[in-house]
Every structure is written in structure tokens, then in C-alpha cells.
Structure 1
Amino acid sequence: MARLQASSEQTSAAKDEIIQAAAELFMDLGYTATSIDAIAEKLGATKGRVYHYFDSKAEIFFAIQRTAMERLAATVEPIARSGETAEMRLCKMADAHLSRLLGDLAIQKVAVQGLERYLFEASGYRYVHTLRDINKLRDDYEELFAEVIDEGSRKGVFVDLPPRLLTKPFFGTLNWVTVWYRPRKLQDPQSISVIREALVSFAMRGIRRGGADGNGDKSECALFE
């Protein structure tokens, strides 16, 4: 039993290593320009090692998508299900979402920006069902935010609009970081915290009734003080 568990852990670690290397290449070069040979070279391994765990480049791409959504959900769902107020939960969820984006930048950037167009240009309908499954993961994740936003709207904390409509610009504010952010080698944790604080505050102002806090008082969303 212990041997099987060790083997499973080794397989998982090997796949994660391939997923990370491929994500970095997809981020830098794009899906079409990245080959299995390039992924193997980045790993310092043979092409056979990559094919031992994945049948194709498309399969690796989908594994990146699933990994991204699973990590986001594992980070955010416990906060969404906690007993805190809707405003505090949404604030913490936004910060956790950003922390995961910035911490797993290559994987999350590929997932956020998507590469479906490259797949459809190359192979068309073959991946429709897989893309549908991944979109379901995305929808389920978005629903975590929609439920909290709906609760806040019903309690008069957030603006009175359909929650699904509000989640789109809310995510847009947070996810845009994957477009413009470029990590620096000597970047300290404080500078990352500044980015998170600015984006979370901006997103919360846009959704909170009355802008800053609805009553002219200080918002209870004060994670960075």
C-alpha cells in the first residue's frame, strides 16, 4: 500500500513538473509555437518522458486548465463557506484569488487568458467535450463568488444587480493582472502585497453600494492594515 502511494505521489509530481514547464512555454511562446520537444528540453529530459505521462500537447494544455481551476477552488472555497460577512468573505476571496494568480503566474495566465482558439484552429471539434468540462469547472468557481455577491446584494451591502452580471467586471479587475504583471527577480513580498491591496480595493469599490462603503464609513474589508 505504501509503495502504491509513493508511486502515485511520484507520478503526480512528475506530471506537475511537466505542467509547469509547458505553462511557462505557452505563456512565453503561445500554444502553436510550443512543441513537445521544447517542453522536454525545458525539463532537461527526453521527449519520451513527456509522452510517458501525456499523450499530446493538447492533453497537457487541458491539464494546465484543470490544475489552475482546482488550485483556485481549493484556495477560495473554504473562505466562501466560512461564517464571516459577505463583504469580508468577498474581500478575502478576491485577495486569495489574486495570491494564487501571482503565485502560479504561468499556469493561471494560461488558464485565465485561454488558448482555445489555437486548439480549434488546429483540430476543431475534437476537443469540444473536454472544453465543456473545463468551462464547467470555471462556472462552478465563478458561482462561489456569485453566491457571496448575491448575499451581499440582498443585505444591501453590494449594488443591486444580478450576481452573475457583477462577477464579470469583478473578475475582470482581478484577472487583468495576468496581462500586465511581470515578476522581477528581486521583487519583495511587500511589493506583491501592494499590488494585491490596490486591485482588491478597486474591485470592492466597484461592487459596494455607494462606492467606498455605502455609509461614508470605513469598509470592514481591511486585510492589509
Structure 2
Amino acid sequence: MSQSQQEILDAAAECFMRMGPDVASIDDIAGRLGATKGRVYHHFRSKGELLYAVRLRSVSLLMEKVAPIAAQDLPVLQKLRAMSVAHVLRILKYLNYHRVVSEDPRMFFRGSAKPYETEMVEKIIGMRRAYENLYRAVLSEGMESGVFAKQSLSITLHSLIILMNGPCFWYSPRPEQTEADLQLIAQDVSNLVLRAVVADPALLNGA
């Protein structure tokens, strides 16, 4: 992705978050960039394509941080903690991207999607499924080993993702916040995640 495309996506994510995808226009996005609509259309053919690009970017941001952790040979409890902390930190750092997805969960605008938009939706769904499978694998391993409580894998998975996405709804950035502050928020959310799955709370001591 070029720097120009990234700048357009950042502006689009901010406009979609503040105004809503149905209201925000290409004019609004170009205005935030201090550019003409032509610059936007040079890279993106429609507002729909921009919205799907923002959605795809939101999942990519999570995948690029969490997938390397999931690939490590770590005890399941330590791995889930590291994955969940990385997820929450990504949400906090790129709140505009993730809030767009959380506040407007529809995959399509009203009306028909263009073929290239449909192709992007399929990419988003595929990457989202791959991302969920990272957690599905560690949860399954933990349940089989007895570290995690044996319960519905699907319900546990989706409940934990909702919990980790919680900052999209209640977090408000403050200028005085430091990286250490964000780390504490991520650790607190991660603690909730682990408490929801461990078979024995004593396992959390020192985890």
C-alpha cells in the first residue's frame, strides 16, 4: 500500500467513525485530506470500496500483530494473554478503524454492491475467519489440556472477541495518556479474558 493510499484510508476511517459510513462523503474525506476528490478516486473507485478497504485494514492490523504470537511455542495461558493484550493495544492505537467496524456491522450498503466490492467483502470474511481461527486453536488446545474450562468453543470464542473489542465502545483517548497507560488497559481487559476461560482461577497466579 502506498503512502497516499494509507493517508486516504486514515482520513476515510476518521470520517466514517465521526459521521457514519452512510453520511460521510468522498467530499468529506477529500476535505479532511486537504485534497481534491480526484486524489481519492485515483486510488479508490467508490465510497463502498473505501469502506471495505477500511474494514480489511482493521482486520489486517490485528492479524499482523497477533498471528506471530499465535505461531510461537508458548503455554496456552501465556499465549492467550499475549494475544489478547496485542489485540486490545491494536484497538486502542487504531480506534477509528475498529470503531467503524463495530458501530456499523453491515457488510453492504443498502442496494447492490459492485463486483469488485463483493470481492473485497469475501477477502474481509476470509481474513476475519482466519483471525478467529488463531483464537479457536489456542482455546481448543487449552480446553483439551484442562487449562481452560470445557465449554462451547464457538460461544467462548465469539464472547472473548466481543470482550476484547470492548474498548471500541467505551474508550476515549486522552492527550496525557502514555504507552504505559494503554498497556495497563490492555492488561486489565486481558485479565477479564483469562478469568472467563480458566478451569481453575489459581492458574492465574503469576500468569
TM-score, scaled to structure 1: 0.85
**1:145-165 deviation per Cα after TM superposition (whole angstroms, max 9, x unaligned):** 010010011110001023222
- Give the one of 25, 41, 53 matched to 1:35: 25
Question: 1-side partners of 2:180 and 2:113: how far apart?
Answer: 46
Which sections of structure 2, spanning at least 5 residues, go unmatched? none
**Greater gyration radius:** 1
User: Does structure 1 residue 218 correspond to structure 2 residue 205?
Assistant: yes
User: Does structure 1 residue 147 correspond to structure 2 residue 137?
Assistant: yes
Q: Which runs of 4+ in 1 moved over 6 A?
A: none
Question: 1-side partners of 2:173 and 2:5: how far apart?
Answer: 24
Question: 2-side partners of 1:146 and 1:115: how far apart?
Answer: 22
Question: 1-side partners of 2:60 and 2:15: how far apart?
Answer: 21
| Highest RCO, 1 vs 2 (Cα 8 Å, sep ≥ 6) | 2
Once the two structures are superposed, the pairs formed by residues 38-187 of structure 1 within 5 Å of their partners are 38-116=28-106, 119-121=108-110, 123-124=111-112, 126=114, 127-187=117-177
SS, match of residue 120 in structure 1: coil
Deviation (angstroms), 1:26: 0.7
Size of the aligned set, in residue pairs, is: 205
Match of 2:178 in 1: 188
Question: 2-side partners of 1:159 and 1:120: how far apart?
Answer: 40
Question: 2-side partners of 1:115 and 1:202: how far apart?
Answer: 24
The answer (yes or no) to whether the contact 1:80–1:144 under 8 Å persists in 2 is: yes
Moved more, 18-27 or 105-114: 105-114
SS, match of residue 213 in structure 1: helix
Question: 1-side partners of 2:101 and 2:86: how far apart?
Answer: 16
Sort the Cα spacing of 1:162 and 1:137 in 2 relative to 1 into closer, same or farther, 3 A. same
Sort the Cα spacing of 1:200 and 1:29 in 2 relative to 1 into closer, same or farther, 3 A. same
Moved more, 47-56 or 107-116: 107-116
Deviation (angstroms), 1:186: 1.9
TM-score, scaled to structure 2: 0.92
Root mean square deviation, CA, Å: 1.8
Give % identity: 31
